[in-house]
Structure 1
Amino acid sequence: MLINLAMFVLGLVALVVGANLLVRGASNLALSFGISPLVVGLTVVAFGTSAPEIAVSVGAVLEGTTDIATGNVVGSNIFNVLFILGLSAVIIPLVVNSQLIKQEVPIMVGASVLLLLLALDGQLGWTDGAILVVLMVAYTAFLIIQSRSQTQAAAAEFEQEILPAQAGSWDSRLPFQLLLIAVGLAFLVLGSEWLVGAAVTFAKALGVSDVVIALTIVSAGTSMPEVATSIAAALKGERDIAVGNVVGSSTFNIFACLGISALVAGTQGLGVAPSLLAFDMWVMLAVAFACLPIFLTGREIARWEGAVFLGYYVAYVAYLILDAQGHDALGAYSTVMMSFVVPITVITLVVSVIQSKSGQQKG
């Protein structure tokens, strides 16, 4: 068990290091070709922070543990919104003004709905994977085109975040940039092998399914780049980046991770566990919809709302643990959550949005 724990930790470290090297090399390479920092931030960085999810999901498919591939993405998207956005908002209330963010949130919701529809037959086939990959390319092209109409403030925010880390650095030359990309990819591949292998061993030792391990430990681990990026951006006051990283990464997870994984799976398809269809995918969809009233009104994500998001993530993990153990308290726990806590939170959010809109109209 200690050896597997060490392999898991080393795999996680390799994924984070690999993602950072890949993002640095690819960002410098893109900037060298004259691509704007805004586009780099919306595409290269967002894709790079999703690289661990892609590596783990593809690695899981190659090792025949498809439940980890799908559970990793679903769990990561739940973790992204509830934990990362919640923690970022608790640190500093997030005021989102960028029109780009308001457009990305409906796209994330649409991607979540599409994933649920494609998975209703119990698997993501080769055709489903092709659809998701085509949408990934279209989404990236959309971001590049959309960036041309962004405000100067949004462009300056990304420039401030990306350029200082690149200017005058030793990796401003092409050979070093290519080396960083190659080494980053190597770390991602190695890290995914260690992490997936250790996760499967943990699942067997603890007597729980691969899905539960993927939804909790693996998804949180592969989301560490998003955690670091969003919290650092929030502390710097770059709130559009803090939010855009989470929303964009969640969309990339669905389009890229599951799309590529389904293609790699070939004719066998990427299996979707019944428990994911029955519960976790619906949680992912609900979490995505929870973002709409906040982001589309352009109001502040207050600290209390961030705390609510964090609380729901803890409640979600607690549900998974109780369910995995077949605990007697599961029924009562589910009843309390669905009958009291969730409705009260929804009503509070709706009232808050109405008050916010009323205040804006009076202003």
Structure 2
Amino acid sequence: MLIPPTAIHEFPEDIFTKEQRKNGAVLLHALCAIYMFYALAIVCDDYFVPSLEKISENLQLSEDVAGATFMAAGSSAPELFTSLIGVFITKGDVGVGTIVGSAVFNILVIIGLSGIFAGQTVVLTWWSLFRDSSYYILSVLALIMVIYDDRVFW
């Protein structure tokens, strides 16, 4: 019986040895991560949000529609790139769990925190919750039906 390699061996090797990481090189990883988060915040604040505002103005979209489409695409970008890394770099099976898990996070946590920090009472109708939940359930069921037999083809 052939034992598959563990998932950690699917990623590229680290530039530092284990001994170098023990002696403090892991701090360089942490500093790099902090720098990348800071750079991401600058890019989002200075370029992403203003460009979405211009696109919404030119397309004459309401704030609700723009938020539901463009900001949803922006919040789903992490799972897109995680899936791309999983498919093209590690050749692993991280895509489905990442996408479904991230969608649940987006639905529950982001919307919940937005409601908590809104600073005012947010009036919602039953229809929007029912509509969004129904489409999400249908999309997850369609995904399950497609990948049920571990074969995906056109």
Q: Does the aligned pair in 1 maintain the 2:10–2:91 contact within 8 Å?
A: no
| Cα separation, partners in 2 of 1:165 and 1:275, compared to 1, 3 Å | farther
Which of 71, 85, 103 lines up with 1:232 in the alignment? 85
Aligned to 2:152: 302
Question: 1:156, CA displacement in angstroms?
Answer: 0.8
Q: What code does the residue aligned with 1:228 have?
A: F
Q: Does the aligned pair in 1 maintain the 2:56–2:62 contact within 8 Å?
A: yes
| Cα separation, partners in 2 of 1:211 and 1:276, compared to 1, 3 Å | farther
Write the distance in 2 (CA, Å) between the matches of 1:216 and 1:178. Answer: 33
| Cα separation, partners in 2 of 1:294 and 1:216, compared to 1, 3 Å | same
Question: 1:167, CA displacement in angstroms?
Answer: 5.4
Write the distance in 2 (CA, Å) between the matches of 1:251 and 1:245. Answer: 10
Which of 62, 72, 83 lines up with 1:219 in the alignment? 72
The aligned length equals: 146
| Cα separation, partners in 2 of 1:273 and 1:167, compared to 1, 3 Å | farther
Q: What code does the residue aligned with 2:92 have?
A: E
Confirm or deny that 1:290 pairs with 2:113: no
Q: Does the aligned pair in 2 maintain the 1:229–1:242 contact within 8 Å?
A: yes
Write the distance in 2 (CA, Å) between the matches of 1:251 and 1:186. Answer: 26
Structure (1/2) with the larger helix percentage = 1
Write the distance in 2 (CA, Å) between the matches of 1:215 and 1:253. Answer: 12
TM-score (norm: length of structure 2): 0.66
Q: What code does the residue aligned with 1:177 have?
A: H
Confirm or deny that 1:166 pairs with 2:19: no
Question: 1:286, CA displacement in angstroms?
Answer: 1.8
Aligned to 1:116: none
Q: What code does the residue aligned with 1:192 have?
A: C
Q: How does 1:190-201 map to 2 (within 5 A)?
A: 190-194=42-46, 195-201=48-54
Q: Find the residue that maps to 1:265 and give its secondary structure.
A: coil
Write the distance in 2 (CA, Å) between the matches of 1:175 and 1:271. Answer: 46
Q: Deviations over 1:256-312 (max 9, x none)?
A: 32233333334x2556689844745532332123233445x4x124222xxxxxxxx
Aligned to 2:38: 186
Q: Does the aligned pair in 2 maintain the 1:226–1:245 contact within 8 Å?
A: yes
Q: Find the residue that maps to 2:118 and give its secondary structure.
A: helix
Extract unaligned runs of 5+ from structure 1: 1-151, 305-363
Q: Find the residue that maps to 1:300 and give its secondary structure.
A: coil
| Cα separation, partners in 2 of 1:222 and 1:191, compared to 1, 3 Å | farther
Write the distance in 2 (CA, Å) between the matches of 1:192 and 1:276. Answer: 28
TM-score (norm: length of structure 1): 0.33
Q: Find the residue that maps to 1:173 and give its secondary structure.
A: helix
**Greater relative contact order (CA < 8 Å, ≥ 6 in sequence):** 1
Q: Does the aligned pair in 1 maintain the 2:16–2:25 contact within 8 Å?
A: no
Extract unaligned runs of 5+ from structure 2: none
| Cα separation, partners in 2 of 1:286 and 1:256, compared to 1, 3 Å | same
Write the distance in 1 (CA, Å) between the matches of 2:35 and 2:122. Answer: 28
Q: How does 1:18-167 map to 2 (within 5 A)?
A: 153=4, 156-157=6-7, 159-162=8-11, 164-166=12-14
| Cα separation, partners in 2 of 1:262 and 1:215, compared to 1, 3 Å | closer
Q: Does the aligned pair in 2 maintain the 1:262–1:270 contact within 8 Å?
A: yes
Which of 251, 254, 279 lines up with 2:107 in the alignment? 254
Aligned to 2:62: 209
CA RMSD across the alignment = 3.5
